[in-house]
Amino acid sequence: MLSIGQVAERTGLSVHTLRFYEREGLLLTPVRRGPGGRRVYGEDDLEWLAMCVNLRATGMPLPEIRRYAELVRQGSGTEDERLRLLREHQERVREQIEALGASLERITRKVRAYSGQASCEPGGNGR
C-alpha cells in the first residue's frame, strides 16, 4: 500500500504525471483513497504503471495506452484485441529501432569522414 510519492519514486514518474495519467484514464481502476482522500496504490497498480512506462518509453501515444487500459478493464473476451494492439506496437518499435540504426550508421560515416585520415567517399562533404 503505497502513497503517490512512493509510487513516483519507484516508477520514475512525477506525482504530477501520476495524477495526470489517472485523469487521462490510463489506470485500470480509479485509484483507491485512504484517509483524507489520499491516493493509495497497490502492487497491481505498480505493475500496471510499469507497463505504461514501458509503452511510453517505446513511444506509444497516451490515447493508445488508454485504449489498451479500456480493453483490460473490459475483462476477458478482449484478449485477442489486446494482443493485436501489443503486436502492432512491437512491430512499430522494431521498425523504430531499425530506422535509428540506419540513421546512426549514416552519422557514423560522417564521423569517420571527420576524424578523417581517409575522407574518401565522393559526396562525403566534410564541410
Q: At 124, is the secondary structure helix, strand, or coil?
A: coil
Contact (CB, 8 A) for 9 and 46: no
The one of DNA, a copy of itself, none whose footprint includes residue 62, by CB under 5 to 8 A per kind, is DNA
DSSP 2: B
Torsion of CA 37, 38, 41, 42, to 10 degrees: -60
| Nearest of 54, 49, 56, 59 to residue 92 by alpha carbon | 59
Q: Which of 19, 66, 67, 110 binds a copy of itself (CB under 8 A)?
A: 110
Write out the residues near a copy of itself by the rule CB under 8 A.
28, 44, 47-48, 51, 54-55, 57-58, 72, 79, 82-83, 86-87, 89-90, 93-94, 96-97, 99-101, 103-104, 106-108, 110-111, 114-115, 123, 125, 127
Binding site for DNA (CB under 7 A): 3-6, 8, 14-17, 19-20, 35-39, 56, 61-63
